[in-house]
Amino acid sequence: MLIATAAQMREIDRAAIQDRGICSTLLMENAAKAVAEACISLVNRRRGGRAAVFCGPGNNGGDGVAAARFLMEAGLEVRAFLVGKREKMTPDCREMESRLRKAGGALEDFAPDAAFASWCLECDVMVDALFGIGLNTPLWGDPYTAVQMMNTCPVPVVAVDIASGVEADTGRILGVAVEADETVTFTCPKAGHVLGQGGLCCGRLTVADIGIPAGLIRGLDETLRAVGPGDIHLPRRARDSYKGDYGKVYILGGSVGYSGAPVFAARAAVRTGAGLVSLGVPAPLWPIAAAKLDEAMAHPLPSGKEGMLSLEATEETLRRLDTCDVCLIGPGLGRGNGVASVVRHILRSTHLPVVLDADGINALEGHIDVLDARGGSFTVLTPHDGEFVRIGGDLSGGQVVRRGARLRAGAQGTPYHRGLPRRHGLYQHHGKSGHGQGGQRRHTGGNHHLSAGAGADGPGGDPHGGMPPRHGG
């Protein structure tokens, strides 16, 4: 699935409105209907009927104002609040306010006093429509207070397009961010939904079709692509085939104390259809791996006194790779100088497709040139954030996608980092050392934050200028 950057979405909106003649308010109302449907689903499950909609002055806020009207028409008790200055409201946001007023509603000024807090605590759903994909500065003042309020109240939150406080192109948190239960985004997912900490804030992600012509989406440069279950299709096996027809996988992993990771990898390779799976582990682990595996074939490799691979394992591994089709290096290998040398030597010596995971990636720290030396050989890296930092830089600094589209798509539809050769795929996953614990962190106690910054206005308005694109701040 294609993942769009903020710049790409703004261009799509511009082309749809200016080149294709699609009314911007029609797109806004289509977006709002999708948001309202998500809210109604949550409310129905909770058997309630009160909604609070927090709206910024930009087009994301316009989506929220329109959603408030649809929720009213569905029979909910709705209050919409403007978190920002009225003079910064975009034309489309003003139009949605006018339609809300004609329907009997109102866009109230955000005033977080005790009575306001008490009303919100009785809500069944909240809508975060403060900022869209244009936000790039930390939240403060009233927007900060509104975000803290949504995070503190024990009420489900639906975010419009992206959780406010998440930078769309990097997933980094701009001071504080809404911890949404569901995010309704439009046309395409954004990088901030899957990169950095942003994925932890979006909750369940829904991608809504709001009427953008498919041709405008197909014409995008594939900066980033997500590979999901629906993108993987295993062929049906012929009745007269045998296991040798379905590929030979070699897995190099394990060290004393870390026998589980290579065993799980071998089982997964068998389960996903590989015909023959061989697992090379340090000699002390061989009895354990052999006892745990039924179909995959484990064998011992030379090891050092610390229970990790020694340099002597290189020759035997390369010999076995001569009869294989693909290699996985890394699960449970450990981090020692000898291990890193073995990994780098293998990468330089084999032209097989290689998947590098865990300590296989760590072996490249300070030696990223090893990947360059592989030339046209296919290499896939699967780093969590910590491993990515060690080999390619920090994702949290906002320099991955936003500056020069540094993640590029390759021939297989996998993400690529510009610093790597084009045939080196880079899949990011979230492991233990990458993100800590996931899940929601909404609390039920106290509302002391409601008085903070009540008289100030945080970031707001449309940051794009000219005709406001639909996805503006």
Backbone angles phi, psi at 353, to 5 degrees: -60, 135
The most confident of 88-92, 269-273, 439-443, by mean pLDDT: 88-92
* C-alpha distances out from residue 134 to 38, 103, 137, 196, Å: 23, 29, 9, 17
- Report the candidate in 227, 225, 195 with the shortest Cα–Cα distance to residue 402: 195
Residues 6+ away with beta carbon under 8 Å from 124? 42, 43, 46, 48, 49, 50, 51, 155, 156
pTM for the structure as a whole: 0.72
* Domain 2-224 CATH (choose: 3.40.190.10, 3.40.50.10260, 2.40.50.140, 3.40.50.11030): 3.40.50.10260
Q: Regarding predicted confidence, which is higher, 70 or 417?
A: 70
Q: What CATH architecture is 238-434?
A: 3-Layer(aba) Sandwich (3.40)
pLDDT the model gives residue 231: 76
pLDDT the model gives residue 470: 52
Rg (CA), the chain: 26
pLDDT the model gives residue 395: 54
Three-state secondary-structure class, residue 301: strand
Q: What is the largest CA-CA distance in the chain?
A: 79
- Report the candidate in 101, 92, 99, 100 with the shortest Cα–Cα distance to residue 28: 92
Give yes or no for a contact between 90 and 59, defined as CB atoms under 8 angstroms apart.
Answer: yes
pLDDT tens sequence across 159-195: 999 999 999 999 999 999 999 999 999 999 999 998 8
Res. 53: pLDDT tops 80: yes
pLDDT tens sequence across 327-380: 999 999 999 889 999 999 999 999 999 999 999 999 998 898 998 888 889 999
Q: Regarding predicted confidence, which is higher, 400 or 101?
A: 101
Mean residue pLDDT across the chain: 84
Res. 448: pLDDT tops 80: no
Q: Give one DSSP letter per residue of 34-52, joined into a string.
A: HHHHHHHHHHHHHT--EEE
Domain-wise residue ranges, the chain: 2-224, 238-434
Burial of 387 (0-12, 13-18, 19+ CB in 10 A): buried
Residues 6+ away with beta carbon under 8 Å from 293? 263, 266, 267, 279
